[in-house]
Structure 1
Amino acid sequence: MLFFLAGALALVGILSEGGTPSRLLLVAVLDFALGLAGFLAPWERLRPESPALLGLAGFAVLGLSTWSFGGVAAGTGPFLVLLYTWAALHFPRWILLAYAAPAGVAYLLPLILTHRPPEVLSSALVLLPVAVAIALLVEAQARHLREDRERLARIETWQSAMMSTLAHDVRSPLATLQIVLEELGENASPEDARVIGAGLRQATRIRRLADGLLDVQRIDSSGHLRLDRELTAAGPLVREAVSYTSGRDVTVRIEDDLKIYVDPQRFEQIVVNLVGNALRYGRPPVIVELTRDGGTDRLEIRDHGAGIPEALRPRLFGRFAVGGPDGIGLGLWIVRSLTEAHGGRVVAEARDPGVAMVVTFPAPEAQA
């Protein structure tokens, strides 16, 4: 794109009669040719440093452009700095230092050939060191960003493998545990049956959490999460989800006839994660409300604790954004991913006292 821009400016120079037309036409042709080479060359088959050859050719064309304008370097200087900056974003510093000699020749030679005065020639003593210094600073920052990106990619690969392994390793023993509990419950006393029933429900919950970890991996790999939506009574679904937590100090306020169009298992996971967080990090009472406003359903889970600092709320739902002794910071990220899969959004709103986690998603009529 730099070469295309330079070629267009060379054509403008012809129209303005600011230089030799035949030379400027040659400059434009060369710039457009270099631009096409940049787009069409099979760089992926060559060495990573191969595109740096375009920079060398670019310096030569810049020198020709200065000569064509009779030694006026007003356009050469900015493009020289831009070429250096482009190189700094893509190549190691040794290439930037190697560019110094050809860049100096491209800048000074046309000035010498056109017999420019010494004060004009001395401008190279300012321009070239500035261009090199800017390029080295940009190269250092770009290198740090690339290293950070590679490190994050390795961490995410490890995390994905860890969650996948954990989920698969948990599901097999859970299946055996459920079978054993079901057999024990067949001939158990009422009191034992109640305890065994609670154990079965928690085993089912753990299996769903394992499925949730697999969902995290699927979200990472494909960016999509398949939902099995159905029209569901909101009250029983939310109360069932709340029962997987301690259930104490939690008040559910939902109209009995309110129905929502969601994936019950995934929506249950949203409720469990948010209620669990409210009980763990906030203070009771925790109030769960689900209301409808036109075409939007609104789930609000509020605690009465110390609240969340305003500076933390924008990144609250990022992956590993908020960890602690009781978690690793995936819960709210999963909530956000599941909410977005339902076509909704989740935010944290300040209350006095406490905080409200608000999930909004389309009502059945709006989705229809």
Structure 2
Amino acid sequence: MNNLDLGTIVLAAGGTGGHIFPAEAVARALDSRGYKIILITDKLKARFPGALSDVDTYKINASGLVGKSVFQKILSLKELCFGFFQARGYLNKVCPKAVVGFGGYVSFPTILAARAAGYRCAIHEQNVIFGCANRFLSRIVDKVATSFMNSQGVPKNLDSKLVYTGMPVRSIFLNARKTPFPLFDPATPIVLLVLGGSQGARILSQVVPKALSLLDKKLKVRLKVVQQCRAEDLAIVRSIYNAAGISANLASFFENVSIHMSEANLVIARAGASTIAELTVVGCPAILVPYGGMADHHQSLNARAFESTGAGWVLPEEEFTASCLKDHIQLLLGKPSLLKIAAESSRKTGRPDAALRLADLISKLGVTDKKGPRSIV
């Protein structure tokens, strides 16, 4: 850690990869400038013991409200209230220069507590469309950083707060960006990377192995599949690939995913904002399968933004069948030039400086000391 001491910055991030990893990228940038970093998170963070392991961490209670019954919402409100007072206690203990929310349930009570106590605050919106929580929080924080150039669902009269930074990614992806896109010809292996996000995606385990099994034998023998699966799906996925004679490296989580991205000729993935940012920083062409179970369809909007740059293709869940995917893959692998063009577009879209840009924004907030208490409504 840096020996300078410019004060403390608190980062609030829910315990999924899509929230923790961007926070980690920004934490490293702030630490290098001399800030002490404190993380406020939830119990799910335990799934990523290596992320921010050297940072003082406080856990609070938090829960979501969307899609729950009345009784469940009452319980969630109780959790959020408890989390608010937990966060306020931690903030009063560390007296931060600024507090930054990276999404997840813990961000909401933490930012509310910070603003109620008069601390300077910022939030980072990861998706194209603002979620309900960030639409509310954007009205009370000092700055709002966005991952996409043309964000949607932004409350009116907030233009002065918005700063386009891009989505921060960890340094391992910046290193992978140095590797040129791997070209292939009819005599070389083809590397296909399949990612379902930090929590896995069952539909990819159900469809992708069956689709690849339908490919021409000449293609199948050249394939080297690297696929992330849920732990409970590993055995059945492995049996399908073995039966089809396809080489496959399967795991529930890849620590070295950046290396796999740099080696991949094509990626099939969900359309989380963090995944898209990593793909574009490395410069990967991809087929995205957005998760359709969210009310705001944020993954669909993320995927369409990615597709509009020429970096890849979108297959909605209702079209994501083994037959359809097989046709797409066979077409793309038969025309390597299409993948090369998409890889170039993906790379041009990437923002490798996103963590530095967001750190700049936070540093400017931290220059001003704690404000006097103000209303949060």
Greater fraction of residues in strand: 2
* TM-score (norm: length of structure 2): 0.24
Query: Could you say which structure has the greater relative contact order, defined with CA pairs below 8 angstroms and 6 or more residues apart?
Result: 2
* TM-score (norm: length of structure 1): 0.25
Q: Which has the larger radius of gyration?
A: 1
